Structure 1
Amino acid sequence: MLGPAFWLGVVFCFAVLPVRAVLAGSYDFYVDSGADDDGNGSVDKPFKKIEDAINQAVKGNKIYIKDGEYFTNVTLRKSVKLYGQSSSKTIIDGIVTMGNDTTLDNVTVRRGGIVVKAESKVKIVNSSVIDFGRIGIDIEVGNGSLTVSNCKIHGGKGKGMYIQAGNKVSIFGNEIYDNDEEGIDIRSKVDGTIWENSVYGNGESGIEVILGESNLAIKRNKISRNGSSGIAAQFYGLNPNYGNVYVKENVITSSRNYGIDCLLPQGGKPQFDYWSKTIDLLDNTFEKNNKGNFAKACNLVEDGIDKNDLSKVNETKKTNSNSEDQEDDLTELQDEDKKFLAEKQRLDGVENEIRYLAEEFESEKKLAVERMAQVGGGFGFWLSGISSNDRAFLTACLKKIDDLDEKLELLETEENAPLEEKIKNQLEDFSRFAQEVTSFLEKGENRGVIYRLLSMLGWAHNM
């Protein structure tokens, strides 16, 4: 057995290691544009070319790039992570293509932009993408995942970011500015968060999003001085489904057109409530947008008041102040609008509660389905039934579903009649699955009876 003296010696050795030795353990390969051609990728003899390090790397390796200019296209694969010495001085002049589970950190990508391959999960952090052509960061169509954090994306001839359909995103704390087209262009069926970014001075809209089946939170961004609108929401007939887009606590100012615009780029006719059901607004600040806070087509509500439309009512009222009849009509219209909008906001709140209960149900359902698959997949279940631990787990899931059912039933009121069908369908889902779990538990109990009978006969131990 190793004594205390041995371990004390080990601690002492690590404590006196030089800094460079610790650094050598931090990365698997090193690259320096000023190195000799015969480098082996070590800290003492780094590779001269990034591609040499990538070709030698195995899954999960980390590559450190010293400051310098690297005139090359780079393809990251095999879960490789690329780290620059400093974001402003480690420059890749070319296209960076990123495969699954790759990372780009502390690097400037100049002129080429970044392409994220389909179905890939990648991270781009503490980096800059500058002076590019058509797109700064482009994630291909598919079920991929993109995290972009603390980056600067600017000076492009096209879009700052292009998030194609089906992906999940986390776009946080970035500056996206002075690009010729949109700052962020988001296609349909995209999920995720766009949070605390500064999006300004772009040639078209700051953020453009196709709403169909998107599930997005756009929160606490500063969106200003963009060449079209702050946020351009779009409907496409190819995907007419509602989305779920929360726009909260943003500051949207000095747009050339609207703070928020609602557009039909390919025509089509959305449902009358499409925009208001898909976009939820809360606590945003709108200032100095040239054509107003909201385009008229949007019919959006901010904190229970359509500020854009009501301001027009007030302007009309001032213009016609000489006519008492017109003033009375406008006042009555304004009061009716307020009542209508207040009722709509209340129903939106109820609908959000239904959505929340449905999400909680799906979470419990997933847990229960996974546990039933584990329990019911083995021979033991068919012979001996369900264990006490598994029974307790599924019983707890049933209890949670029952609680959700009770909360949902409380929403079945006359004033919520417009949502009656949605509530009814959700209650039916709750009931069907609860019955499925109950039936599973009963089967487990029945098989347990068979096992106990065999035990009484002295046969179970021989099986």
Structure 2
Amino acid sequence: MAYSPLTLSSLAKSAVPGVGSAKPTNLLWVDDNASGGGDGSSASPFKTIQAAIDKATPGTAVMVKSGTYNGSVSLDDASGTNGKPVWLVSADGQGAAKIIASSGKPGISAYGEDYLVIKGFTIQGGTEGIKLTQSGSHLKNLTTNIVIEDNHISGSSIDGIKLAQARYVAVTGNTVEDFGREEGIDNVYVRDAVIAYNDISDATKSGNRSGITVKAGSEDIKILYNDISDVLDGIIVGGYSSQPGKVYPGGIDYQAKDITVSGNHVYDLAKRAVNVLGGSDSVISDNKFDPNNSYPTVVNVASDNHGNRSEDIRILDNIVEASKWLTVQSGNASGLVTSGNTQDGGLTLLGIGADALSY
């Protein structure tokens, strides 16, 4: 689909209906070639993105013209409302507006804000390219109803995209590459989300944990049609996290639940295509896994760092380009189903410590 700054993908529309069906009611323009002191009209644009964001009200689209914008952007106090999100978009084409993040800060960030669209930017550097999370701690003010679409993120020192304590989210059509020591797209207590059609890679294959991670009580997430390569683990369903309380509720005995991993191409890895760590009630189906390495497994099912075991994991109809491809750690075989997975010449399923069960 050709890039249109104020049109969202069908997946984003369905995942975040309070944003996806909306149209802007007001436009504020930004041009780095402006002299400064503008009013945000097309004839007298603001010179900086932050100046426009600070004037944005629900229903406003901040239209950023082609150019290079030095300095991070804060969307704090810029929430939209249901049917009237605040849009931050590259107006002149996908990637035409470039944000160079400030040292030690995310390129674009917001804490506890709702109903936002971030679309079409090139974002370079920073701790994260985009970081949206709760305000404060203990789940008092989540960030909700967010669309992150068609951005090109590179050179971050931690995560490419970081979402934490978030609900009703679409992360679609982004490119994340050469990110830092953690994840391409990191999800900590994220619920009701779709992560689809993203291209994630890191040329070093070291320091970063995965292309996509969903952990710390994340639930009801669809991971669809992503292209993931040159990382350690492709997708982590679950993971290792801090103790419940500040970042996700107590009483949760899983890292990730009701996760769908489907239609992804995961290849050229240092380790595993999928690593399930404390995952529950999740399906991994119709993917192509070609790790292209000598690591002893392609899909791993295991417990998290708190001892929460994986259960009810279904691994169905995947193409796995390795003969020995599945490991199940002791105590994590409850409800496990494997069916229809294929590889040229047939599959050999390798169960390690799988409660004496054979896979």
Q: TM-score, normalised by structure 1?
A: 0.50
Q: Structure 1: how far apart are the matches of 2:236 and 2:31?
A: 43
Instruction: Give the match for residue 205 of structure 1.
Output: 210
Q: Structure 1: how far apart are the matches of 2:49 and 2:268?
A: 43
Offset of 1:197 from its aligned partner? 2.1
State the Cα deviation string for residues 152-186 of structure 1 (Å, max 9, x = none): 22222211122213423212222222212211222
Instruction: Give the match for residue 396 of structure 1.
Output: none
Residues 1:249 and 2:263 are matched in the alignment: yes
1:392-411 maps to which residues of 2 (within 5 A)? Answer: none
State the Cα deviation string for residues 225-271 of structure 1 (Å, max 9, x = none): 2124543532667431472112223222232122222347973323x
CA contact (8 A) 1:234 1:263 kept: yes
Offset of 1:114 from its aligned partner? 1.7
Change (3 A) 1:120 1:253: same
Show structure 2 runs of 5+ residues with no match. Answer: 1-23, 81-85, 135-141, 245-251, 279-302
Return the letter of the residue paired with 2:132. Answer: I
Return the letter of the residue paired with 2:70. Answer: F
Instruction: Give the match for residue 97 of structure 2.
Output: 90
Bigger share in strand: 2
1:276 to 297, 302, 311: 311
Instruction: Give the match for residue 20 of structure 2.
Output: none
Residues 1:138 and 2:138 are matched in the alignment: no
Instruction: Give the match for residue 65 of structure 1.
Output: 64
Offset of 1:140 from its aligned partner? 0.8
1:189-338 maps to which residues of 2 (within 5 A)? Answer: 189-201=190-202, 203-210=208-215, 212=217, 214-231=219-236, 233-234=238-239, 238=244, 239-241=252-254, 243-263=257-277, 267-270=305-308, 274-277=309-312, 279-287=313-321, 293-297=325-329, 299=333, 300-303=336-339, 310-312=348-350, 337=358
Bigger share in helix: 1
CA contact (8 A) 2:33 2:47 kept: yes
Return the letter of the residue paired with 2:267. Answer: T
Instruction: Give the match for residue 185 of structure 1.
Output: 186
Change (3 A) 1:27 1:65: farther
CA contact (8 A) 1:259 1:294 kept: no
State the Cα deviation string for residues 213-233 of structure 1 (Å, max 9, x = none): 511222222222212454353
Return the letter of the residue paired with 1:215. Answer: D
Offset of 1:210 from its aligned partner? 1.6
Change (3 A) 1:171 1:283: farther
1:23-62 maps to which residues of 2 (within 5 A)? Answer: 28-62=27-61
Percent identity between matched residues is: 24
Return the letter of the residue paired with 2:87. Answer: K
CA contact (8 A) 2:64 2:97 kept: yes
Q: Which has the larger radius of gyration?
A: 1
Q: Structure 1: how far apart are the matches of 2:41 and 2:190?
A: 44
Change (3 A) 1:40 1:114: closer
Offset of 1:194 from its aligned partner? 1.7
Instruction: Give the match for residue 384 of structure 1.
Output: none
State the Cα deviation string for residues 44-73 of structure 1 (Å, max 9, x = none): 333334444445554433333332233344
Offset of 1:126 from its aligned partner? 2.2
Change (3 A) 1:182 1:29: closer
Q: Structure 1: how far apart are the matches of 2:150 and 2:227?
A: 15
Counterpart of 2:161 in 1: which secondary structure? strand
State the Cα deviation string for residues 91-149 of structure 1 (Å, max 9, x = none): 33346xxxxxxxxxxxxxx974221321512222222322222x222221315132222
CA contact (8 A) 1:247 1:282 kept: no
Q: Structure 1: how far apart are the matches of 2:216 and 2:318?
A: 19
Instruction: Give the match for residue 148 of structure 2.
Output: 148
1:113-124 maps to which residues of 2 (within 5 A)? Answer: 113-124=107-118
CA contact (8 A) 2:79 2:113 kept: no
Counterpart of 2:307 in 1: which secondary structure? coil
Q: Structure 2: how far apart are the matches of 1:67 and 1:75?
A: 19
CA contact (8 A) 1:34 1:48 kept: yes
Could you say which structure has the greater relative contact order, defined with CA pairs below 8 angstroms and 6 or more residues apart?
A: 2
CA contact (8 A) 1:248 1:282 kept: no
CA contact (8 A) 1:29 1:42 kept: yes
Q: CA RMSD in A?
A: 3.8
CA contact (8 A) 1:113 1:136 kept: yes
Q: Structure 2: how far apart are the matches of 1:235 and 1:119?
A: 26
Q: TM-score, normalised by structure 2?
A: 0.62
Show structure 1 runs of 5+ residues with no match. Answer: 1-24, 96-109, 314-332, 339-463
